[in-house]
Amino acid sequence: MNEELRETMEDTEECEEYERSGEVLETVELTIAIPEAGTLITCKDPSGIDQTPVPEIISKNDHYDIERTNERPEAYWKTYNTLEYYSDVRFEAGKSYTVFGKVKAGPGYIFNDPVTLIINGEEVPSEEVEDYSLEGDSFTFYFDITVK
């Protein structure tokens, strides 16, 4: 094996060790509050940063939580198919709305890839859990909430 290839392989192995260090979390459990029918979702900024109301997501464990950016949780009402933020939409009883969220592991923890994600007691399909960080300490998800 040539020297350059061997060094590249060693660098990759070291990088993989760094990326995946920490106690592995196999399962993440979250509760998402069901919004009240009649509540208006507003969003003017294309980044979604000003969207209200923010989905209320509660972690069932102190080893992970919803990531925070600019003093707000990384959680939005966002369509799964078009990836657009809901705006000027009023929640209607019996209709489903998609929540997008980013989960961040606490210091010293990483997520299994794939992680088992359970929201409101329901296992989320693996195709709706994605974008694992290289370090293994965060991922994003989509989940549909039906308003009552």
Which percentage of the chain shows pLDDT scores above 70? 86
Q: For 55, phi and psi rounded to 5 degrees? A: -55, 135
Answer whether residue 134 shows pLDDT above 80. yes
pLDDT for residue 71: 86
Write out the H or E segment, with its range, that includes residue 23. strand 23-32
- R_g of the chain, CA atoms, integer Å: 18
Tokens of 74: 């990384």
Which percentage of the chain shows pLDDT scores above 90? 82
Helical ranges in the chain per DSSP H:
3-19
Which one, of 82, 68, 60, 57, lies nearest residue 138 by Cα? Answer: 68
Asked if residues 80 and 129 have their Cβ atoms less than 8 Å apart, the reply is: no
Stretch among 5-14, 31-40, 61-70, 101-110 having the lowest mean pLDDT: 5-14
User: Exposed e or buried b for every residue in 3-22, given b needs 16+ CB within 10 A?
Assistant: eeeeeeeeeeeeeeeeebeb
Higher pLDDT, 10 or 39: 39
Q: Are strands 72-73 and 68-69 parallel, antiparallel or unpaired?
A: antiparallel
Answer whether residue 13 shows pLDDT above 90. no
Answer whether residue 9 shows pLDDT above 90. no
Q: What is the pLDDT of residues 24-78, one digit of tens each?
A: 999 999 999 999 999 999 999 999 999 999 999 999 999 999 999 888 999 999 9
Q: Are strands 64-66 and 96-105 parallel, antiparallel or unpaired?
A: antiparallel
pLDDT for residue 20: 64
* Mean of per-residue pLDDT scores for the chain: 89
Which one, of 90, 99, 103, lies nearest residue 144 by Cα? Answer: 99
